[in-house]
Structure 1
């Protein structure tokens, strides 16, 4: 059995196509898992959905931004900004509102919004050797929050995963690849297909190979044409154009330390 597991495509079909091409070069795949944040904050959400829903034997989970698009929730409200005396964040909030509204309008006009709203929180599978695999966007039981990232202590990571009834957990959300084991539970952050925040500025995903004797997991990194993505963002006149192009230029890498 071979499973390709991806997360955080964020409406970027150029990055997605690069990853799917790399998957095909690795050999036959029995299942695809897509662990959320499929469409927002990206320049072409519908092409991404058309691509991934045509994959054979594909499973999905929702991400926090998928939920924001469907529910009109936002990462932070004006009231929270005012309560924290952080009025300088208002321009960022307004840009976020415009971005999610743009994506929601795009999906509504093309008939995809109800599909996005039906995505489940998690996926589970018992591998041939008995390993219990859990796929979820941010952390067991949630599609949101700080997520699983390298700065977590052993105790913090253990608290997040100890009651999840899984032996291998795959997540995304933070865009930072990670592979750690705590209390016998292996936790793998796939990184992201789009909007990288690692120094390599490449897409990342995982392939799980499993049989009756055990499993192997490989985190793969795939370069893609970031200049082409920036040009596509400009052509789309995306309302969060500056923010998206900042990812492509690596402006967010230094903030992850």
Structure 2
């Protein structure tokens, strides 16, 4: 029997985008499981709303993202990777996080694995160095670079996020897949992917973009005085909020 999974990444505290994706997934037939590739929170400010919505689902596997990690570091009194405006933003998000979610967040693994119809899958927020730290974003990825990074892996499919654009690379060794950011986009669209693996191991990928109303979300940055809002709205949402002012 074919297996069908949904792959989400980089929700970034955007409740309305996540809700729109879940509404579409719930109309899809035979979704066996969901995989969330990290950065559940940060950048967007609807932290508790997003985590509450995620908690309503029992069929999701998660991995840790760099924003999740930074916010946890702040709560635990450790120095995060973030600096200046980004650190102030993370501190603000951390201060508003409902502590009931801490046990869940603290248990987020860095990686996850699965197997469907003989295909081995590896899930990670982004590529890791030998010490388990996230590598800098590669803005010019190639199949050669990816195969080198995963030269010791036995995975047939590597799924990752972090870089907010679609990656769909197929080499002789494996498939590399990034579904794009669900919560950060320059249009009112929420992205995710459906991966189908057939009985003989055949692979089919569909990239989805779900329209949603992002007006209230974007205007909320100003209403709540979210730290680093100007940078976030420009870099991660293409200044769409200016259309609503």
TM-score by length of 1: 0.81
Of the candidates 143, 149, 153, which is equivalent to residue 164 of structure 1?
Answer: 153
- Which structure shows the bigger proportion of residues in helix conformation? 1
Q: Within 5 A, what are the aligned runs for 1:11-26? A: 11-26=13-28
Aligned length: 231
The 3 A distance-change label for structure 1 pair 138 and 162 is same
SS in 2 for 1:138: coil
Q: Please tell me the root mean square deviation across aligned C-alpha atoms, in Å.
A: 2.3
Q: Within 5 A, what are the aligned runs for 1:151-230? A: 151-196=140-185, 202-214=189-201, 215-230=203-218
Instruction: Decide whether the 8 Å contact of 2:37 with 2:160 is kept in 1.
Output: yes
Separation in structure 2 between the aligned mates of residue 148 and residue 203 of structure 1, nearest angstrom? 23
What are structure 2's unaligned runs of at least 5 residues? 240-245
Aligned partner of 2:120 in structure 1 is: 132
Larger displacement relative to structure 2 (96-105 or 216-225): 216-225
Larger displacement relative to structure 2 (208-217 or 30-39): 208-217
Q: Does 1:235 align with 2:223?
A: yes
**Runs of at least 4 residues off by over 3 Å:** 72-76, 140-143
Instruction: Decide whether the 8 Å contact of 2:4 with 2:31 is kept in 1.
Output: yes
Of the candidates 80, 84, 91, which is equivalent to residue 74 of structure 1?
Answer: 80
Q: Deviations over 1:46-69 (max 9, x none)?
A: 111111121131111001111111
What are structure 1's unaligned runs of at least 5 residues? 77-92, 252-257
The 3 A distance-change label for structure 1 pair 66 and 50 is same
Instruction: Decide whether the 8 Å contact of 1:178 with 1:188 is kept in 2.
Output: yes
SS in 2 for 1:100: helix
Instruction: Decide whether the 8 Å contact of 1:11 with 1:42 is kept in 2.
Output: yes
Separation in structure 2 between the aligned mates of residue 154 and residue 248 of structure 1, nearest angstrom? 26
SS in 1 for 2:42: coil
How far does residue 192 in structure 1 lie from its aligned partner after superposition?
0.5
TM-score by length of 2: 0.85
The 3 A distance-change label for structure 1 pair 153 and 32 is closer
